[in-house]
Structure 1
């Protein structure tokens, strides 16, 4: 039961950051799970199981507060599902740490670029609809591989491309619901077919997953309101700082 309350707090913190900035729930949750010895595939499956519930609540909040660009949402969600399914299948059979150095470098570069844009405060531009498909495909794949690559990859790429931060965060968070459902279903399929060798470890972390779900559900309903009220420039700075911080944190983990 102590595990439940620890991960309840982790879930609240992670979802509060994710709901406000469009990223970090998966990264924070996965990092904590990996730190206590959970295998990578099990950590990713656990986080996605929790996100099925938290992203549904977050998506509802963003919909109510009109933070979604529906024109970009459809291709983003479809591509994200495809990338996520491929990534989940790959992760169930290989070590996902191989690709992490490239992700860390990407986050650092994009974070610095967003900070530069925030300092110069250029006006948001209307992105072409097709641009979200490659973002979604890569983001979904990295999310399943690393248990938290969707927000940092897709939200940051959309903001760096000129999308208004509020709309980028709301659109990406809402599309993430469909991604998490698809990834979770893929893990279940891998379990049933015997492709996932470490699936038995899930039973040992049920309380951790329950805590992540409960904590995320507490914080998720406030996501849309926070994004709606915070000024655009402040959101951009916050996203850039968080990206650079995540890159440094994950870089240190890789070096240890």
Structure 2
């Protein structure tokens, strides 16, 4: 029991440190680990999003305190993301687990490869006003709920690709994620309930501890090596899940 709790504290700490510093990969990282332990996709997504209510709240608050949030961008992301997240969570509860598992593993594999591609690609230097933010939030929230993660890889990387300043893209996406994941968790709570409280508690404790550190290092630590490592790890573990499913 205690060994399991400490394991998920470590998982939560590492995932939130990555997510808070890069604006992505908490859910993708944690979901990959839970699926590797045999947790059903809907239970994994519900557990991770329940934990993220606390971790994204702590992370978003920390980013706000460090001046990393663009509130206009936050408003354009949050509401569509909440709508997409609620729809995705409802759909996931009505799909058999044996159907969802290989699909989610394949989705996570794509996310891992996408993180690698973004890490190895050239970042734009412009700071244009981002376009289609509402649709981006809707799509990001939908896939985040279905896959147990993906809000950051989809939304943050798209904003960075459009030229949004990294500091504001990461901070605003982190704070918007609090509202999105709260909606997803509420949907799961009223449909299937929440299980695996030791996992949730471990992820919460580790994530809350890591949140202020992650916000502090956002503009101070080179993110390319970390993104490459995360992308490789997610891709390898997800590929294993796809092969096991078939």
* TM bucket, shorter chain: 0.7 to 0.9
- Judge conservation of contact 2:49–2:185 (CA < 8 Å) in 1: yes
Distance 1:211 1:218 in 2: 11
Where in structure 2 are the equivalents of 1:1-256 lying within 5 Å?
A: 1-2=1-2, 3-94=4-95, 95=97, 96-97=100-101, 98=103, 101=106, 104-105=109-110, 108-109=113-114, 111-113=116-118, 115-118=120-123, 122-128=124-130, 130-191=131-192, 199=193, 202-203=194-195, 205-230=196-221, 234-235=222-223, 238-239=226-227, 242-243=230-231, 245-256=233-244
Distance 2:142 2:60 in 1: 21
Gaps of 5+ in 1: 192-198
Distance 2:94 2:33 in 1: 22
Distance 1:109 1:208 in 2: 27
Corresponding position of 1:195:
none
Distance 1:12 1:40 in 2: 21
**Count of aligned residue pairs for this structure pair:** 239
1:62-109 per-residue CA deviation (whole Å, 9 max, x = no partner) reads 001111122211111111101100000000011434365356446535
TM-score, normalised to structure 2, is 0.87
After TM superposition, give the deviation of residue 114 of structure 1 in Å. 5.2
- Judge conservation of contact 2:112–2:230 (CA < 8 Å) in 1: no
Distance 2:229 2:126 in 1: 19
| 3-state SS of paired residue (1:228) | coil
- Judge conservation of contact 2:127–2:165 (CA < 8 Å) in 1: yes
After TM superposition, give the deviation of residue 13 of structure 1 in Å. 1.1
Distance 1:141 1:175 in 2: 14
1:118-154 per-residue CA deviation (whole Å, 9 max, x = no partner) reads 4xxx3132223x4221221111111101111111111
Distance 2:141 2:83 in 1: 7
Distance 1:222 1:76 in 2: 24
Distance 2:223 2:32 in 1: 24
Distance 1:179 1:99 in 2: 19
Corresponding position of 1:194:
none
CA RMSD of aligned residues (A): 2.2
Distance 1:247 1:187 in 2: 27
Distance 1:4 1:103 in 2: 24
